[in-house]
Structure 1
Amino acid sequence: MCGRYVMARAVGDLVSMFDVEQTAETLPRSAWNIKPTSRVPVVLESAKGEDEAVRRLEPARWSLTPSYSKELKTKFATFNARSETAAEKATFRGSVKSKRAILPADYYYEWHTEGKTKTPYAIHSPNNELLAFAGLYTWWPDKSLPEDDPTYWTLTTTILTRAAVGDVSQLHDRTPVTLPPSFWDKWLDAGQEGDQSLVDAAVAAATPVTEALKFYQVAPLTGDGPELVEPVSS
Structure 2
Amino acid sequence: MCGRFAMDQTVDELITEFVIVTGEQPENWTPDWRTGYNIKPTERIATVFESSRDGATPVRRIEGARWSLIPSWAREEKLKYPTFNARSETAASKPTFKSSVASKRAIVPARGYYEWKTAGKTKTPFFISEAEQSLAFAALYTWWRASPEHEWMLTTTILTRQAEGPLAEIHDRTPVTLPRHMHDVWLDASVAGDQQLVDAAVDASRNVELAAREVAPLGRDADGPELMEPVKPLF
Answering whether residue 143 of structure 2 is matched by residue 146 of structure 1, we say no
Q: Evaluate the alpha carbon distance shift between residue 11 and residue 81 of structure 1 in structure 2; reply closer, same or farther with a 3 A threshold.
A: closer
Residue deviations 1:88-128 (CA, integer Å, cap 9, x gap): 00000000000000000001000001110000000010x22
Answering whether residue 215 of structure 2 is matched by residue 218 of structure 1, we say yes
Aligned residue for 1:2? Answer: 2
> How far apart are residue 49 of structure 1 and its match?
6.0
Counterpart amino acid of residue 170 in structure 2: L
Aligned residue for 2:85? Answer: 80
Q: 1:33 pairs with 30, 38, 41, which one?
A: 38
1:66 and 1:8 mapped to 2: Cα distance?
Answer: 30
1:124 and 1:188 mapped to 2: Cα distance?
Answer: 22
2:115 and 2:99 mapped to 1: Cα distance?
Answer: 29
> How far apart are residue 193 of structure 1 and its match?
0.3
5 Å matches for 1:54-93? 54-93=59-98
Counterpart amino acid of residue 101 in structure 2: V
Does the residue aligned with 2:206 lie in a helix, a strand or coil?
A: helix
> How far apart are residue 73 of structure 1 and its match?
1.3
Deviation larger for 86-95 or 213-222: 213-222
Answering whether residue 182 of structure 2 is matched by residue 162 of structure 1, we say no
1:85 and 1:11 mapped to 2: Cα distance?
Answer: 29
Q: 2:140 pairs with 129, 132, 136, which one?
A: 136
Aligned residue for 1:184? Answer: 183
1:109 and 1:173 mapped to 2: Cα distance?
Answer: 13
Question: Percent identical across equivalent pairs?
Answer: 55
2:5 and 2:202 mapped to 1: Cα distance?
Answer: 20
Counterpart amino acid of residue 16 in structure 2: S
CA contact (8 A) 1:131 1:178 kept: yes
> How far apart are residue 198 of structure 1 and its match?
0.4
Does the residue aligned with 2:178 lie in a helix, a strand or coil?
A: coil
CA contact (8 A) 2:92 2:194 kept: yes
Counterpart amino acid of residue 3 in structure 1: G
User: Normalised by the size of structure 1, how large is the TM-score?
Assistant: 0.91
2:136 and 2:164 mapped to 1: Cα distance?
Answer: 17
CA contact (8 A) 1:2 1:108 kept: yes
Residue deviations 1:52-83 (CA, integer Å, cap 9, x gap): 11111100000000011111111100000000
5 Å matches for 1:37-48? 37-47=42-52
Residue deviations 1:4-28 (CA, integer Å, cap 9, x gap): 1001237852343224416874422
Structure 1 segments (4+ residues) deviating >6 Å: none
> How far apart are residue 29 of structure 1 and its match?
4.1
Indicate the RMSD between aligned Cα atoms, in angstroms. Answer: 1.8
1:79 and 1:128 mapped to 2: Cα distance?
Answer: 25
Counterpart amino acid of residue 149 in structure 2: P
1:11 and 1:207 mapped to 2: Cα distance?
Answer: 21
Counterpart amino acid of residue 230 in structure 2: P
Aligned residue for 1:171? Answer: 170
Does the residue aligned with 2:182 lie in a helix, a strand or coil?
A: helix
> How far apart are residue 230 of structure 1 and its match?
1.2
1:200 and 1:170 mapped to 2: Cα distance?
Answer: 23
